[in-house]
Amino acid sequence: MRFYTNSHKHSCGIDLHTKMMYICILDSDANILIHKNIPTNTKAFLKLIEPYKEDIVIGVECMFAWYWLADLCAKENLEFILGHALYMRCIHGGKTKNDKIDSEKIARIIQGKNFPLAYAYPAELRPIRDLMRRRSHLVRVKSEIQSHIKITNYQYNLKPFEKNIVHKGNREGIADHFQDPSVRLNVETDIAVMDALHDQINHLENYIIRMTKNYDGRMLYRLKTVPGIGDVLALTMMYEILSIERFPTVQKFCSYSRLVKCTKESAGKKSGSSGSKIGNAHLKWAFSEAAILFMRNNQQAIKYVAKLTKKFGKGKAISILAHKLGRAIYFMMKRKDVFDVKYFFRTC
């Protein structure tokens, strides 16, 4: 956890919503100067903070509508900080909770130098990252539809499909397996949606790869030297990590990527783990997927996981491999080096 510890003459805490925003501005002696609910728009906000712009820090809790405010603060040369939503639970404690109270709590946390920081992603790369995340969502939707077609086939006890219907060319004639017109229409609808998603996902991938080569094609190449990592996983890692300099140690990087569990300990006694939801879910998926693909046609990896499976079980063994891949990729990006298979297994 990182805290914002800089001092300013004025601290501005905002309880941000889509239509309204409650603003609390404190001076250096913790006196309330402004405590007001205003519409969520640029002119109203700038007019309100105009007398305090000389030295002010503006903090909000991380939620989906913070992009415009971060961009506005960057344009106006104002200090903007983003609060980690799961670490800011203290603003939700109390007998009464409302926007007015929350905005004051945020301002006082900033002034007390206890504001837990989340990473405010740079505006120029944010659209591509969000496009990658949207692509992942579409892939999941496509997989759900594919599963529905297979379940429908099982419901009527029909023969399994001869070919893998994940590929567009293998879905031709699938609907003809079903006798009932309503069931056939159900499957035809699924296939039509899958075909549309297939084309759109390919379009997104081609666009993102084209944009990435202009941004950092060398890093894309280095990540693809890891066996099993292709364009999609490499792009996910690139845009979710952005800069490896964000992480001073490999341990912090692995924690951010959800590759390690955090133990709960008190008075020398451990009581399980916690914080499983804190970190980047997209990186967790990417490294878990990379671990599975790393084992494909890789006898050394298969033997290593088999050895770990005897001691920890299969799920834990694959998690350990994902953790080691995460550490390897951290040092690859830090040293701007390619993946070395021999060195990787020597350290294992």
Please tell me which residue, 96 or 73, carries the higher pLDDT value.
Answer: 73
Q: Which of 178, 234, 225, 226 is nearest to 205 (CA)?
A: 234
> What pLDDT band is residue 23 in, cutting at 50, 70 and 90?
very high
Q: Is domain 3-118 annotated with CATH 3.30.70.60?
A: no
Check whether 107 has a pLDDT greater than 90. yes
Phi/psi at 293 (5° precision): -70, -25
* Sheet architecture: strand order including 115-118: 3-4, 115-118, 79-83, 56-61, 10-16, 20-26, 32-39
User: pLDDT at position 149, please?
Assistant: 94
User: pLDDT at position 211, please?
Assistant: 85
> Mutual orientation of helices 42-49 and 67-75 as an angle, nearest 10°?
50
Strand pairing partners for 117?
Answer: 83
The number of angstroms, rounded, from the C-alpha of 220 to the middle of its chain's C-alpha atoms is: 19
Least reliable range by pLDDT among 110-119, 215-224, 320-329 = 215-224
